[in-house]
Structures are given as structure tokens and as C-alpha cells.
A = this chain, B = another copy of it.
Amino acid sequence: MATLQDVADRAGVSVSTVSRALHETGQVKSETSQRIRSVADQLHFSLSRSASSLASGKTMRVVYLTYNNLNTWYTSQCMEGLYTGLYGTGYDLIPYVTTVKEDLDAFIEELPSNGNLDGLVLTSFPFTEDQLTLLRGLHIPTVAIDSNSPDVFDASVMLDNKSAMYSAVQLLQRLGHTSIAYVGDLLSDRFFISSRTRCEYFLDAAHQLGYGDDNIEVFTRDDAKPEVNGSQSIIAQYVSSILSSPKKPTALCASTDYLAMSLIHGFREVGVSVPDDFSIVGFDDMECADLMDLTTLHQDPLKTAKLAAEKLLKLMKGEEVEERYTEMKASLVVRHSTKRAS
């Protein structure tokens, strides 16, 4: 592994000069610079990030803090968006997944004194007050994606779940559905802020649009028998709860596309048709949604994350972001999983 010194020796200059030449600070005579660069090329030289970091105080690392898994549609879109947003800047993107609560706690605890990252992007977490206090005092730039406490962070990009859910409920109403329901996530809604948020806005919208409590229902994972596990059986349970509900809903809003599609599949298995017997609206508009003809709320977390990365870059440069909170809109995409109530 060649070092700056090696390059300097071969080029007949000092390490300082090599460093300057490689960083294109413009203070090196172009002739010297040329020579240095060619020597560096010959040696396949590349700077040691550790040494650079240590000397400069910048780690060139951005951490993406998320929960559960990297292989969900949402998270992978975020990763891609962050990656493209950071691309070409020299910053490395490091995913940090908090599978258990302790991971998250430890990470947050250590954050203030942790000199191992220059910037942090995080997705919506159910932070405790103590954690929020800690986060508030953070000295490294932090950008939140879909956070429910945006004011705590230096910047944030949030999806407007409220108007999204309103448009979904409005669609169902226009289609003549008089009894409607929300179906929560496959995983516990306690952890999935977005599902809970959407549920609240669903209820708000329903009330606003004149639905009475007798015509609104909510099905969530947390109501499921604790022994029920595996998405197959959760879906089966959802399906039977919905079918046997005294409120007899004819239209459903699901917290995600994946859930919506699973429900459609679950209904089909017991001979119930979507959209003939039930109208279903999803959320996300993932690639499969189009293929399954799902009516859904389209969101673009890739774009969201890219924007988050761009804000973070500004903040890390010490600049102000032009817009501290950015709200992204979801748009209703009507396909064929919804139809007029019969």
C-alpha cells in the first residue's frame, strides 16, 4: 500500500505538496501537480481514509439509521435514494439497522460523543422523550425522513399522510361505500409509526366526510391473538375478522400495498372477490401494484431520501438548507381494486 510519502519521494517533493496536488487546492504549480498525479497513478495510490479522517476530523461517513430490515420495499428505496444523493461526494453510506430496542437505545446514547459519522439520516422512530432530548443536543447534522417529530432535527422530509388518507377515503365515499375500514400493518403497529399515523388520518378523514362510528372500523395486528404468527395466518385472521364484522365494511384502506395485495389474495382464497365484494386501496405504489391492478396511494421514498441526502450534504458543508421541512405529497392512483359499491 503506497503512502503519500512514497508518492512524494518518487515525485521529488514533500508530502504536503502531494496532499495539496491530490486535493486540487490550486496552490500547486500545474507542472508539479501533473508530475505528482502521474506518479500517484503509477503507484495506484489512494488516500487512506482513516488517516485523512483522523487528521482532518471529518469521517466522510453518513449513517442511515433504520429499523427491522434492509430488504423491504421502503428501505431499499431509501437506500437507493440516499446513495444517489450522496454519489460522487466522497461520503460513504453506512446502513445501521436497529433490530431490537437495545440497539436503538445504545446507538442514540452513544451518538453525541460518537466521532464516527459526519451526518445522520433516520427514519421515523418511536423515540422516547429522553432520546429526543439527546437528539436535540446533537452536534452533527441530522435529517429525518417521515419523522413524527420533525422539529427535533436539522431538517426533514415528510410524507403528507393526512391528505393522502383523505383522498383515499374520499374515493371510497364517491364510489358509494357506506361502511369502510382501515387495516393495519402485518407487523405490530406499535413499531410502525407510519401505519399508526395513517390510521389516525383515515379516521379523521372518515369523520370529516360524514362517516359515523358505526360505519368505520379498524383492524390491526395488535388485536391478533399473540399465538398467530407468519403473514399467511395473520392475513387469514384479518380476512375472517373482516368478513364476520357486524359493521359489514365494503371498502378497505390498507397501510401498505403489500398488505393490500395479501388481503386480495386472502379474499380470493375464500372465494371473495376484489373489487366485486370489496374495494381495497393500498399505499406505496410499489412496482407490483401496477401488475396486480391495485388502486393505491403513490409515494416515492427514493426521491424523498435523495432530497434528505441533499439537505444533509448542505448541512455538513455548514450551509443552511433553504427549506427545513419539506412535505412530499402522495397521489391517488386509481386502478381496478376499487369499484362502485353494488
Interface residues of A (CB under 8 A from B): 1-2, 43-46, 48-51, 53-54, 59, 61, 69-72, 75-77, 79-80, 83, 87, 92-95, 97, 99, 109-110, 112-116, 258, 261-262, 264-265, 287-288, 290-292, 302
- Would you call B54 and A83 a contact (CB within 8 A)? no
CA A262 to CA B113, docked complex, whole Å: 50
Across the interface, which residues of B come within 8 angstroms of A116, CB to CB? 46, 48-50
- CB neighbours of A83 from chain B (8 A): 70, 95, 97
Q: What is the oligomeric copy number?
A: 2
Q: Check B71–A113 contact: CB distance below 8 A.
A: no
Among B46, B92, B115, B292, point to the contact of A114 (Cβ < 8 A): B46
What are 15 A-B interface contacts by the 8 Å CB criterion?
A44-B112, A44-B113, A46-B115, A48-B116, A49-B50, A54-B54, A69-B80, A72-B76, A79-B95, A83-B97, A92-B94, A95-B95, A261-B291, A265-B290, A288-B291
A63 to chain B, nearest CB (A): 9
- Residue from the list B44, B45, B76, B112 in contact with A70, Cβ < 8 A: B76
Q: Take A71-B76, A76-B79, A291-B264 as given contacts and tell me if A48 and B44 are in contact as well, using a CB distance cutoff of 8 Å.
A: no
